[in-house]
Amino acid sequence: MKLSRREFNRLLALGAAAHYVPNLHAQTPSRKTGYCIVGLGRISMQHFMPAIKSSPKARVTALVSGHRDKAERMAAEYGVPTSSIYSYDNYDAIAGNPNIDAVYIALPNSMHAEYSIRAAKAGKHVLCEKPMSTTVADARAMIAACQQARKKLMIGYRCHLEPVNLRAVQLIREGRLGQIQAIESTFGFNIGPNEWRTNRKLAGGGGHLLPQRLPLSHRRRAGGHRRPLLRDRS
C-alpha cells in the first residue's frame, strides 16, 4: 500500500481526531475536531491543512502566525474568522476559544516544547510535529504539562503508523526474515540555504538531524528496541 504524504496526513488527522475526543462524534455527529494551526510554513500549509480539508472529522478553526497577511489569506481559504487569528504574543488567548480542541505544532524544532506546554496550559490537546523536542528535559516537560492538564500529547511520526512499515516490523519480530544482521536505510530531501533547518539554534542539531533520526528510529523500532537512543546532552 502506497500513501502520499498528503494522504497520510489525512489519515493522521482522522486518527488524531478520534484519539483526542473518542466520544464526541457519538454525542454530536456533525461536530468536527477543531485544530489551531501553530506556524504557517510548508508542512502545515502544503500537507497538514489540505489533508484536514478533506477529513470528515476535523477542521481548521484557528491560526497562529507571526505574519498577519499570510494568516488572513489562509483564514479566508479555510473559513477561519479573523477573530481566531493569533500571534505568538497573544497565543495563550486560545484558552478562551471553545472552537479549538487541539493544536497542531508546526514550528522549528526548538520551539516545540514551549508552544506545546503553553497549549496544554490553555486546555488544548497537542499534536506536535517531529521531533518532539531538542532535549530530553524539554520532552519530559511536555509530557508533564499534558499530564497535569489531562490533555493528550501526540507526535506526528508517520512511520509508526504506515501499513508497509507495520508489516515490515511484524515480519522482523516474527522471525520470518531470519536473524537480522544489519538494516540499511536512506532518507533525505532538498532544503534551501536559508531554511531554519540549517540553523542549529532553531533545529537543535543542524540540517542533518531529521534525515538521521527517522531511519535510525525506525530501524531500532523494527528490531524491538525500547530503551532511549540518546542521553540528554543539554
Q: Quote the pLDDT of residue 197.
A: 66
136, 204 contact by CB (below 8 A) = no
Asked whether residue 158 carries a pLDDT value surpassing 90, the answer given is no
Asked whether residue 23 carries a pLDDT value surpassing 50, the answer given is no
pLDDT tier, 113 (very low <50, low <70, confident <90, very high otherwise)? very high
DSSP 176: T
How far is it, in rounded angstroms, from Cα 108 to Cα 120?
Answer: 18
Q: By C-alpha distance, which of 159, 172, 162, 125 is closest to 145?
A: 125
Read off the C-alpha cell for 37: 494551526
pLDDT tier, 195 (very low <50, low <70, confident <90, very high otherwise)? confident
77, 52 contact by CB (below 8 A) = no
Q: Quote the pLDDT of residue 26.
A: 45
Which of the given ranges, 6-20, 188-202, 211-225, has the highest pLDDT on average? 188-202
Q: Quote the pLDDT of residue 226.
A: 53
Q: Mean pLDDT check: name the lowest of 67-71, 107-111, 199-203.
A: 199-203
Query: ∠ at Cα 202 (198, 206), nearest 5°?
Result: 35
Start-end of H helices in 122-222 = 136-149, 163-173, 200-203, 209-222
Q: Quote the pLDDT of residue 22.
A: 46
Mean per-residue pLDDT over the chain, rounded: 81
Asked whether residue 66 carries a pLDDT value surpassing 80, the answer given is yes
Report the pLDDT averaged over residues 117-130.
Answer: 97
Instruction: Report which secondary-structure segment, H or E, holds 72.
Output: helix 68-78
Read off the C-alpha cell for 27: 454525542
Asked whether residue 104 carries a pLDDT value surpassing 90, the answer given is yes
Q: Quote the pLDDT of residue 177.
A: 84
How far is it, in rounded angstroms, from Cα 74 to Cα 82?
Answer: 10
Q: Quote the pLDDT of residue 186.
A: 72
Helix axes 163-173, 209-222, angle to 10 degrees: 50
Higher pLDDT, 206 or 168: 168
pLDDT tier, 25 (very low <50, low <70, confident <90, very high otherwise)? very low
Q: Mean pLDDT check: name the lowest of 114-128, 157-171, 208-222.
A: 208-222
Start-end of H helices in 79-122 = 112-121
How far is it, in rounded angstroms, from Cα 227 to Cα 218?
Answer: 13
DSSP 129: P
Q: Quote the pLDDT of residue 24.
A: 43
Q: Quote the pLDDT of residue 76.
A: 97
Higher pLDDT, 33 or 191: 33
Asked whether residue 7 carries a pLDDT value surpassing 80, the answer given is no
